[in-house]
């Protein structure tokens, strides 16, 4: 009888060991799932910005620029996230990286509501000047009326009249 009890206890323990081993094997796909979630996209960062989850957007933007440092839009969206987080210097640094990686069309920056305060700063104009870029700071809705700043000069145009003023 004791032999039978010992065998039964051994079988129960052995079955328990197999179940814990199977459970451990089933838990192993979790890191794979985490690895697939680490694939951050531009849309993921933008979605967090739209939800006003600025801290999360900033973290995702850091992951995005680390994973895709040569993607210009990644740096622009990172600048947006940093500006939304009230980190002006980090936003300017991200814009500088965007310019370093080939951004030459500033319309992405000019359309961003998160970068409005950055665009109005002297540091931004200095950055544009350093890369030889110009920006439309004010564009009137009517015809050929505009104010263009860049290269140390402000140019005011109205119809066929153009006036250039030093900054």
- The predicted-structure confidence for 22-70, as pLDDT tens digits, reads as follows 444 444 333 332 333 458 999 999 999 999 999 999 999 999 999 999 9
Residues 128, 106 share a domain = yes
Tell me whether residue 45 is in a domain.
yes
Residues 154, 75 share a domain = no
Region 77-91: mean pLDDT is 96
Residues 166, 149 share a domain = yes
Residues 105, 52 share a domain = yes
Domain hosting 103: range is 39-132
Tell me whether residue 57 is in a domain.
yes
Tell me whether residue 20 is in a domain.
no
Residues 69, 141 share a domain = no
User: CA-to-CA distance for 76 and 65, rounded, in angstroms?
Assistant: 10
Phi (first) and psi of residue 147, to 5 degrees: -125, 120
User: CA-to-CA distance for 65 and 15, rounded, in angstroms?
Assistant: 48
Residues 141, 93 share a domain = no
Residues 139, 104 share a domain = no
Phi (first) and psi of residue 114, to 5 degrees: -70, -25
Residues 147, 88 share a domain = no
Give the count of beta carbons closer than 10 Å to the beta carbon of residue 137: 15
Residues 87, 147 share a domain = no
111: left (phi over 0), alpha (psi -120 to 50) or beta: alpha
Give 37-73 as a 3 state SS string. Answer: HCCCCHHHHHHHHHCCCHHHHHHHHHHHHHHCCCCHH
**Ranges 12-26, 71-85, 135-149: which has the least confidence:** 12-26
- Number of folded domains that form the chain: 2
User: CA-to-CA distance for 31 and 138, rounded, in angstroms?
Assistant: 50
Structure confidence at residue 30 (pLDDT): 31
CATH number of domain containing 70: 1.25.40
- Candidates 44, 101, 107, 109; CA nearest to 79 is 109
pLDDT band for position 8 (cuts 50, 70, 90): very low
Residues 127, 45 share a domain = yes
Residues 109, 155 share a domain = no
Give the count of beta carbons closer than 10 Å to the beta carbon of residue 158: 14
Considering only residues 104 and 20, tell me which one the structure prediction assigns the higher pLDDT. Answer: 104
Tell me whether residue 78 is in a domain.
yes
pTM above 0.85, yes or no: no
């Amino acid at each position: 009888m004791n032999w039978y009890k010992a065998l039964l206890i051994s079988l129960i323990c052995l079955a328990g060991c197999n179940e814990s081993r199977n459970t451990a094997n089933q838990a192993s796909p979790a890191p794979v799932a985490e690895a697939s979630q680490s694939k951050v996209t531009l849309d993921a960062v933008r979605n967090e910005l739209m939800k006003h989850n600025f801290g999360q957007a900033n973290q995702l933007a850091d992951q995005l620029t680390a994973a895709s440092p040569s993607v210009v839009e990644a740096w622009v969206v990172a600048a947006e996230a940093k500006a939304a987080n009230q980190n002006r210097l980090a936003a300017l640094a991200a814009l500088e990286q965007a310019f370093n990686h080939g951004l030459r069309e500033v319309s992405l920056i000019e359309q961003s509501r998160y970068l409005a305060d950055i665009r109005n700063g002297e540091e931004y104009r200095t950055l544009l000047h350093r890369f030889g870029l110009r920006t439309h700071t004010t564009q009137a809705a009517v015809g050929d009326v505009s104010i263009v700043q860049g290269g140390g000069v402000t140019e005011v145009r109205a119809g066929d009249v153009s006036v250039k003023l030093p900054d």
